[in-house]
Amino acid sequence: MTKDSKIIVIGSGAFGISAAYHLSEGGYTNITVFDKGDYNHNLFDPLKGANAPSTDYNKLVRASYIDKTHYQNLALQSLQIYYKWNEQLEHAAFLPNGLKNTDKIFRNTGYVRFDDVENKEEAKTLAHFEKQGLRSFEYDINNEDDILRSKITGWYSKIDPLGQKGKVKTLTGVLDSIAGVVNANKGLLWLKYLSERSGNVKFVFGPLHGEIEKIIYSDATKIKAVGVQTKDGKKHDADFVVIAAGGYTPAFLPSEKRDRIESVASTIIFLQIPHDRPDLLKKYQNIPMINWRMRYQENIVKDGIYMFPATEEGIIKIGANDELWRYFDENNETLKNVSTPTDKFKLLPKESFESYKTFFSQWLKDLKDANVHIEKSKFCFDAISQKNEFVIDFVPGTENVIISSGGSFHGFKFLPVIGRFVEGLISEKNYQYSEYFKLDSIKDNDFDRKPLKDVYSDHSLKYAGLVERKQYYFEIR
């Protein structure tokens, strides 16, 4: 291994671009990132057709992680860098297409976690924040001292932004004033720019030249990778291959290790605030990010919903964590029992549709009265790992293939820092917390779930009960 070793990164989402950036910062000079997305043209912008999980309007940045203080501390490190990026972006003399000085990568919107039961998760999180000296940034919505402090600090309007006190019988919750929302596509574009500016990183995009068809090994033992082959048939030499392919990652793993990571989808919908309602636009742009009935230690909760503040264009993104969905390609004999991402399905499962209807009628009455309806729905695939722990490690049985994945729907916030662990593996450095991300850090008998392999399950999209036609989306109001 030398600083001019050829390093190929598969995937330009948060884990992939961050890996390329940190490898460049570590002095490596020959890094190529491949991705089948058409990002030279759509600039990671979902309004222009970008469709990967990382290419989104917004993602939550929070440091509240109950007992998982390694994520808490990495999130706090990320927050510091996001503020630095905002400042750098504001004063940059030269910027790539898609970025301007007035853009904000991160907005400190706050984040309020609501529930209708008292749970112990919040108490644990607050205790860890107390140890960090950060308890004063947290506001229990039912604590009189916290409420008074919120009035003094200017956060009171975000404690109950949608007026649910008195409507939900036992409303509990905590407002986190440290947290906020990252403009995901701007964050990716900015880190891509910083990586390219170094002269050490190049990007190859597009469904022909950027899609990896296979990893090439020196022989049948598949111990040493010597490169990759793209869909156009070209072969590209490599000394190291980094698999940061999100929901596509399990397909690259040895079959005996695929239970560690599973490709699953949750649903999201988009609403459009009417252009003639500036009052609604102002209100929903200034709400915090909202969680309702979502608990960190449970991947799925009936009627679990999250909602982001409106974008400048008046688009509101809402997601449901009521179920996890899979897609199985029954024509692929090798992977027919392995869930993989797809964009074939456009309409919501009936189960999720009912979750959105319930939330809409209870929480968003003014939008309902303004005849707002679902404009678009989407399945967001990600690689979910056991106990939601990332996997950043060498692929078992290989000497130079690294996996960096398992974002589990909470990985994007770590865009500024997560790539350092890939650089650490190649440079043989042992960064703090790297032990949590080893493939075998969770033993088989400690797995918290069993990946679904039943092609005919009702949680398989092909056999799930989907909304029959988009006309129903107008009935949500």
- Reported as a single tens digit per residue, the pLDDT across 137-162 is 999 999 999 999 999 999 999 999 99
pLDDT of residue 298: 61
pLDDT above 70 for 476: no
Residue 253 has pLDDT above 90, yes or no: no
Q: Inform me whether the pLDDT recorded for 304 exceeds 80.
A: yes
Residue 296 has pLDDT above 80, yes or no: no
Mean pLDDT across the stretch 70-78?
98
Q: What is the mean pLDDT of residues 29-43?
A: 97
Predicted confidence band at 135 (pLDDT cuts at 50, 70, 90)? Answer: very high
* Percent of the chain with pLDDT strictly greater than 90: 81
| Arithmetic mean of pLDDT over the chain | 93
**Band of pLDDT at residue 468, cut at 50, 70 and 90:** confident
- Whether residue 297 has pLDDT greater than 70: no
Task: Write out pLDDT tens, residues 324-337.
Answer: 999 999 888 888 88
Which of 45-59, 207-221, 397-411, 444-458 is least confident? 444-458
The tens digit of pLDDT for each residue in 270-294 reads 999 999 999 999 999 999 999 998 8
- Dihedral angle sign, alpha carbons of residues 89, 90, 96, 98: positive
Could you tell me which residue, 180 or 330, shows the higher pLDDT?
Answer: 180
Give the model's pLDDT for residue 118: 81
pLDDT band at 60 (very low <50, low <70, confident <90, very high): very high
pLDDT at 477 over 60: no
Instruction: Give pLDDT, residue 450.
Output: 82
Q: Quick one: average pLDDT of 247-261?
A: 88
The percentage of the chain sitting over the pLDDT mark of 70, rounded to a whole number, equals 98
Q: State residue 299's pLDDT score.
A: 58
- Return the higher-pLDDT residue of 332 and 211: 211
Residue 119, pLDDT > 80, answer: no
**Residue 66 predicted with pLDDT over 80:** yes
Average confidence (pLDDT) over 297-318: 87
Q: How confident is the model at residue 420 (pLDDT cuts 50, 70, 90)?
A: very high
Q: Find all residues with CB under 8 Å of 372, minimum gap 6, and list them.
A: 271, 272, 273, 274, 364, 477
- Give the pLDDT confidence score for residue 446 in this predicted structure: 82
